[in-house]
Amino acid sequence: MSLHPILAALRRHRLATMLIALEIALACAVLCNACFLIVSRLQLTQVRSGVDEASLAELTLTGYEAANAAELNARVIDGLRRIPDMQSVSVINAVPFGEHAGTAGISLDQAGQRRVGAVHFYVGGPGSFEALGLQLVAGSAPQASDYQPVLNFVPANATVLVTRTLAEHMWPGVDPLGKEFWCGELHFRVGGVVAHFARPRGGPGGSNTIEWSVFVPGQPGPQLAGVYLLRAPPAHLPRVLRDARAAIAKIAPDAVVDNQGSQTLSDLRENYFRQDRVMAGMLAGVIAALLLVTALGIVGLASFWVQQRRRQIGVRRALGATRGDILRYFQTENFLIVSGGIAVGMALAFALNLVLMQHYELPRLPLYYLPIGALVLWGLGQLAVLGPALRAAAVPPVVATRSV
């Protein structure tokens, strides 16, 4: 079929054609970027914490005095261990997706000249490393002698475990075992490497530094108290946590249970990413509404054109055009308009992405989003025009002989 008559007809309806093409262009720009936003949000929620989330819960106590902390730790650990199905109770300063407890800048030399960035120090008492279920990839797990008294927030001189990501960042391509780093006066030596261990909250650098964690073995005491890591079989964990909270009233009547900090890790994770999921859901809703409105616009305009051209269609049919010819005419016309819109829309999508990159620290839109967006809009256009086009094809040739 020759395109010439279609183009000639469109030229007669320049304004309406341009409007619908612009609508499609805008839809294309928003569609590509919204999809990209959804995907990046959902990717965020896929973070690997590196720990056995399903079997772990956190219990946080506040309102006790530092002077009584050592005794409180002993009472709580002893009391909670008696709860049926409890596998282990240990002291820790923070858990993934909970409140952060010790974020500090570290350097590769004692003078603090070769800075690495801010990492999160997880300080855990005996049993916590095993309870977390971290996957050791090099070196060894903390030995009993590694658990030293915590001075300020970490021991002064500790053998620690770092994540693979952090090790690769600090000593690219070098075996990190035995390497040293400093945080002010505090000295650390790497004794082991774990596969994954996410920091509690995304620190400076956002998702790129999410695995910048250090595990420091520490002796529970005044500076390591109040946060307890409970481990139980996943099926029993909610009940065990409930029992533990109830037991605290008897074990430590003076302490106050912190509700935010006393949840299973699965719940903490759920809450942590709730905002991202809500946002992704909202974006999906906008996309759906957008496609619907665009489709309705196409239907409206196409119906109008079909009605307007009833006589011409009749004439063509009388001159020998088949129903298929008429159908294809409207489909081709729609394809041309949508293609024009997509061409402008791709440029718009890119421009919108540049704005988003500036204001929302979003990466560049991957190019493959553009053809996907185009395919979706072409499909939508064809689907929307099908109804009016079929109606056009049904116009009988006899219309040509009638006056209006």
Partner 1 sequence: MFAYYLDLALRSLKRNKVLTALMVTAIAVGIGASMTTLTVMHLLSGDPLPGKSSRLFYAQVDASPDAKGREPYDVLDYRSAMDLWSAQRADRQTLIANSMIKVRQTETNLPPLMLAMLSTTADFFPMFDVPFQYGGYWTADDDARHARVAVISADLNNQLFAGADSTGRILRLRDADVRIVGVLKPWRPSPQFYNVAGGRFSQGQTAGFYSRPESVFTPFTTGLEINDGHFSQFSCWGMPATPGHLQDAPCVWIRLWVQLDSAAKVADYRRFLVDYAAQQKTLGRFTTTQTRLRDLMQWLDFNGVVPRDVRLQTWLAFAFLAICLFNTVGLLLAKFMRRSGEIGVRRALGASRGAVFSQYLVEAGLIGLLGGVGGLLLTVTGLWLIRRQPVEYADLVHLDGTMFLVTFALAIAASLLAGVLPALRASRLAPGLQLKTQ
Site residues (vs partner 1, CB under 8 A): 15-16, 19-20, 22-23, 26-27, 29-30, 34, 37, 62-63, 66, 152-153, 184-186, 202, 204, 206, 223, 254, 256, 258, 271, 274-275, 278-279, 282-283, 286, 289-290, 293-294, 296-297, 300-301, 303-305, 307-308, 352, 356, 359-361, 404
Closest contact distance (angstroms) between CB of 66 and partner 1 is 6
Three state DSSP letters for the chain: CCCHHHHHHHHHCHHHHHHHHHHHHHHHHHHHHHHHHHHHHHHHCCCCCCCCHHHEEEEEEECCCHHHHHHHHHHHHHHHHCCCCCCEEEEECCCCCCCCCCEEEEECCCCCCCEEEEEEEEEECCCHHHHHCCCEEEECCCCHHHCEECCCCCCCEEEEEEEHHHHHHHCCCCCCCCCEEEECCEEEEEEEEECCCCCCCCCCCHHHHCCCEEEEEEECECCECCEEEEECCCCCHHHHHHHHHHHHHHHCCCCEECCCCCCEHHHHHHHHCHHHHHHHHHHHHHHHHHHHHHHHHHHHHHHHHHHHCHHHHHHHHHCCCCHHHHHHHHHHHHHHHHHHHHHHHHHHHHHHHHHHHHHHCCCCCCCCHHHHHHHHHHHHHHHHHHHHHHHHHCCCHHHHHCCC
Closest contact distance (angstroms) between CB of 16 and partner 1 is 5
CB of 175 or CB of 185, closer to partner 1: 185
CB of 351 or CB of 372, closer to partner 1: 351
CB of 256 or CB of 398, closer to partner 1: 256
* Sign of CA pseudo-dihedral 295, 21, 343, 280: negative
Closest contact distance (angstroms) between CB of 292 and partner 1 is 9
Closest contact distance (angstroms) between CB of 345 and partner 1 is 11
Tokens of 331: 């489909």
CB of 153 or CB of 350, closer to partner 1: 153
SS3 293: helix
CB of 206 or CB of 371, closer to partner 1: 206
Closest contact distance (angstroms) between CB of 286 and partner 1 is 6
Closest contact distance (angstroms) between CB of 223 and partner 1 is 6
Closest contact distance (angstroms) between CB of 153 and partner 1 is 7
**Parallel/antiparallel/unpaired status of strands 227-231 and 157-163:** unpaired
Closest contact distance (angstroms) between CB of 386 and partner 1 is 17
CB of 1 or CB of 66, closer to partner 1: 66
Tokens of 280: 């992704």
Strand partners, 221: 224
Closest contact distance (angstroms) between CB of 348 and partner 1 is 10
CB of 7 or CB of 66, closer to partner 1: 66
Closest contact distance (angstroms) between CB of 177 and partner 1 is 27
Query: Which residue from 91, 130, 122, 87 is spatially nearest to 226, judged by alpha carbons?
Result: 91
CB of 37 or CB of 161, closer to partner 1: 37
- Contact call for residues 399 and 313 (beta carbons, < 8 A): yes
CB of 219 or CB of 223, closer to partner 1: 223
CB of 134 or CB of 280, closer to partner 1: 280
